[in-house]
Structure 1
């Protein structure tokens, strides 16, 4: 049996390819070795459906946020090894998942807009260039954390429409102190900030909320896509919930920047499953 994982900071999509060809799936919490130790990830995994498969999984293909550096890949491998001691484990970057799921065997630029953000230039078989991914404090332009951070900053400084502010208070019961406690003292601040994006999406008919996404996407294009060679003549593809549920704004921001957006999908897991099925 083969286990496939596509993991971001907020959630992980798991697929199991059974020996008889059946496919089962599960969605669980996200993992990021930049913000979690191997021990912390292992504890979360043991709360998941994975422990029921520990003696059946023979091979694991894990694609995850924060898994570009060898030491981070080793952290994830160590966490998985605590459950699947006999499985062959492959850990790769979530950019590889995005490129394989959206570009297939053709050249293109693959982008991730989920809780965080990232991008790469893909030649049809390999990633040939990337841009720095500076994380939720110094980067993540266009991602949910970036949009949510701007929203919460405007909330604190009372620089948003009053009706939006009142609606946010009614829904989330937030205050400046609550926001700062979550951001500076509680675990997973990036998830917390990104969690406001659903509310912002629901209110994107308001120019303020629309502008939060539009300007964040413009920032992403400037910091990432526009720095790749010949970017105007390459299809630009996206994976991630922020891109998927705000695709109308994303396509508008791209068009205004002279960029052609091709495919936008919420998750690459289906494409990854097909990819690994073909290798069996």
Structure 2
């Protein structure tokens, strides 16, 4: 029996698998070792994950998560999972591996994540061979929900939004400068908070002002990441994440400007990961 998880900064999808097929699935909040310590993760999962799963102890656990590229951050998550499942063999991987396996399968390509945060890599069909630096919410995350929200809130607070959008934003959220500053600079998970405003942008994406803002978000992502991979125009480029999925029409339009061949766009990699590990169990 195998437990697999795909985690971003906002949400985590879990699947419990056997050789005969799926046993259970569950959903919890996102896990990111850059923002959480092991004890906090363990307590959160004990309250949210365990009640959703049958009383089975998985032999193996494969966790794919945002912020899990460095060994020390992987150990933060691994320690939390071992506390809950002491007899399980725990393996923690970067979320880019989940994206590459789910999107590209065994083919070469460029795999991109556009969710609360953003990331990308060149995958050779078996492993990641190159990735652009991920600078996180403060210095990077171009094209992500957090990046979109940041641009929108900046325009709102600087009184740069057209009057109709400014009024719609205020009526929907009823927030001002002080509350936003407090959420961003004093409270945890500012990336999640900012990414929440991407829903407003989606609802008003046909407004010329916001359309151009969304266009810029994706153009910034392509400029900072995809266009820096050698021969990127000759390779298929794939996307996973809620931002890529729900803004796919604009994403494809921007990609055409850079002669980027967009192929698969998935909301979540969990189905592809389930298939990958199901095949391993069967074999």
Q: TM-score, structure 2 length as denominator? A: 0.96
Q: Which residue of 2 aligns with 1:101?
A: 102
How far does the alpha carbon of each residue in 1:94-149 deviate from its partner, in whole angstroms, 9 at most, with x for none?
A: 00000000100000000000000000001110100000000000000000000100
Structure 1 range deviating more: 137-146 or 162-171: 162-171
Give structure 1 stretches of 5+ with no counterpart: none
Q: Structure 1 residue 49: deviation in Å?
A: 2.6
Unaligned runs of 5+ in 2: none
Cα distance in 2 for partners of 1:22, 1:235 equals 31
Q: CA deviation at 1:12?
A: 0.4
- Could you say which residue in structure 1 is the equivalent of 2:196? 195
Question: Does 1:29 pair with 2:17?
Answer: no
Cα distance 1:72–1:53, how it changes in 2: closer, same or farther (>3 A)?
A: farther
**TM-score between the two structures when normalised by the length of structure 1:** 0.97
Can you list the C-alpha shifts for 1:42-74, whole angstroms capped at 9, x where unaligned? 121112132655752221010000111100100
SS in 2 for 1:208: helix
Alignment map for 1:40-55 (pairs within 5 Å): 40-50=40-50, 52=53, 55=56
Q: CA deviation at 1:20?
A: 4.3
Partners of 1:6 and 1:14 within 8 A in 2:
yes
Retained in 1: the 8 A contact 2:141–2:147? yes
- 4+ residue stretches of structure 1 with deviation over 3 A? 51-55
Task: Find the counterpart in structure 1 of residue 2 from structure 2.
Answer: 2
**Distance between the aligned counterparts of 1:189 and 1:118, measured in 2?**
18
Instruction: Check the 8 A contact 1:110/1:120 in 2, yes or no.
Output: yes
Counterpart for residue 221 of structure 2: 220
Superposed, 1:83-94 pairs within 5 Å as 83-94=84-95
**How well do the aligned residues superpose, as a CA RMSD in angstroms?**
1.2
Answer whether contact 2:18 2:278 (CA < 8 A) is retained.
Answer: no
User: How far does residue 246 in structure 1 lie from its aligned partner after superposition?
Assistant: 0.1
What is the rounded CA distance, in whole Å, between the counterparts of 1:210 and 1:38 in structure 2?
Answer: 40
Residues 204-242 of structure 1: per-residue CA shift (max 9 Å, x gap): 010111122110100000110000010000000000000
